[in-house]
Chains A and B, each alone.
Chain A
């Protein structure tokens, strides 16, 4: 270097008295001059340096959220909730289950060459179970960090519901899209939602008694049996009739109340609440 920043310039720089061109010149020079970088330390109050370094460390160490999560934060979702949702591995299984099952559902009803009546039955048997399986898979029984998570005070129900919400954000549109895209299914595209609500809440209530795989299997067996019985006795229209849909929704409300009641007193089998 042919020149170095002298005392007079340093004092003006630190005091903010340099014009923008001179300040930029000092910045550029200091970036490439080891001697001046060392000299700069003498002009910066240690308290200021500590604050600046703490800020730098905060910025570079804190993980940067993916764009969708930053968008959610701007919409008012709490930062700590986003940390939970962004713990990617905990969502990997539920998302895989939701999407995988939805795709399997589409393949079965769309490609298996079923008659229209059986196609309806197959769709109605599988579609409401997509959210159920996503929620069950969200539960911490499948969490690789279960041993670490279990003895924390964080509500395991809240954890499961946050993950389930993130899973359902994938599962519900995927399943609805299948109903709309597969030929002949458009009349069933949304009628699975009401039974799905009841089944999902039912699975959560069962989680207060049994482990996640057992609760999932019980709900799945119950629903598939109901559809098989309906199909055996004719068509599955009985399950899609408006009064039955209202009954499913009402059952969902009752199960939601049961869930609140159970979770206020007991521990979930997959991990304490």
Chain B
């Protein structure tokens, strides 16, 4: 199976600040989760892959086209990708349908009938079919978020890039979005703070910190890094990365030396993520 997208020694600097360190990776069909703290370089990574941002160094391949090589290649790649930024400032006065119609034109849907049919299709996909004629300004936050996602689905792209897609959605809407994304055939790359999204949706997880990929593997492999390191006991583990009292009154400790009478419990993606972050901070000498 060939890669839908690939970074080859790609780095990005803003002035002297390095947002993405030299990175090489390939993305294939399936849902890939990009997990990392604020400022880790997630959005920059997504913008590089979306062709919205040129890299400082390196080569980026998207749907078989070297987008760092020529404008013509970028246009070809853009015909095959969908991108939903973290925040979308909607034009005032536009209806949900009008907004998607505008983006559909920018995605080269020229014939009015076919374009309108495609707009209605993606509106239905995100459960906004009944809100088509509503002004965007009158939609709720969750509905606007779904509208932003809808524009990225126009044309059923081979590579779908979503920056924090579940932010602002209620649990039902999140579940609905997961269902929609899991049904897509191509490659979906999502950045998220929600470890729950990763555990329930992603075939592959990338953990990024300080502009570098610190982990690349499946969810079970990520969980494996925390196996035997999460405990439940009457008191907190010494030197634990995180501890909290659970509803049963016992203390859950991530990492550290377990207290006597503690038992090992199955780690969650969040536990594994916290441990990875802790290792990274130790490596960087941050306490």
Contacts and interface: CB of A to CB of B under 8 A. Distances in A.
Instruction: Using C-beta atoms within 8 Å of the partner chain, give the interface range for chain A.
Output: 20 to 34
B52 A84 contact: no
Interface in B104-163: 105-110, 112, 115-116, 120, 132-133, 148, 151
B133 to A, nearest CB: 6
A273 B276 CA distance: 40
**Of residues A84, A151, A273, which shows the largest number of chain B Cβ atoms within 10 Å of its Cβ?**
A151
A220 interface: no
B88 interface: yes
Interface in A228-273: 265-267, 272-273
B206 to A, nearest CB: 20
A223 B81 CA distance: 42
A50 to B, nearest CB: 13
Given A148-B88, A148-B103, A153 B97 contact: no
A83 B97 CA distance: 12
Given A144-B91, A151-B50, A266-B71, A63 B101 contact: yes
A270 B151 CA distance: 22
Contacts of B101: 62-63, 83
A11 interface: no
B266 to A, nearest CB: 39
A150 B51 CA distance: 8
Contacts of A273: 71
Contacts, number: 96
Interface string A139-176: 00000110111111110000100000000000000000
B83 to A, nearest CB: 5
Nearest to A89: B91
A152 B152 CA distance: 10
Contacts of B132: 61
Nearest to B130: A61
Contacts of A19: none
A154 B106 contact: yes
B83 A151 contact: yes
A267 B74 CA distance: 10
Nearest to B85: A147
Contacts of A61: 97, 116, 120, 132-133
Interface residues of B, number: 41
Contacts of B248: none
Contacts of A145: 88-91, 102-103
Contact of A79 (B92, B98, B103, B112): B112
Nearest to B131: A61
B168 interface: no
B78 A83 contact: no
B93 interface: yes
Contacts of A74: none
A80 interface: yes
B94 A152 contact: no
B102 A84 contact: yes
Contact of A63 (B51, B54, B97, B107): B97
Interface in B26-80: 50-52, 54, 71, 74-76, 78-79
Contact of B106 (A62, A78, A152): A152
A273 B70 CA distance: 11
B103 A152 contact: yes
A60 interface: yes
B191 interface: no
B95 interface: yes
Contacts of B74: 267, 272
B71 A267 contact: yes
A148 B151 contact: yes
A81 to B, nearest CB: 8
Given A63-B95, A89-B93, A154 B108 contact: yes
B97 A151 contact: no
A111 B33 CA distance: 62
A90 interface: yes
Given A62-B97, A148-B83, A152-B78, 4 more contacts: A90-B91, A147-B52, A148-B151, A152-B107
10 contacts: A63-B95, A83-B101, A84-B106, A89-B91, A148-B148, A149-B103, A149-B106, A153-B106, A153-B107, A154-B105
Interface of B: 50-52, 54, 71, 74-76, 78-79, 81, 83, 85, 87-95, 97-98, 101-103, 105-110, 112, 115-116, 120, 132-133, 148, 151
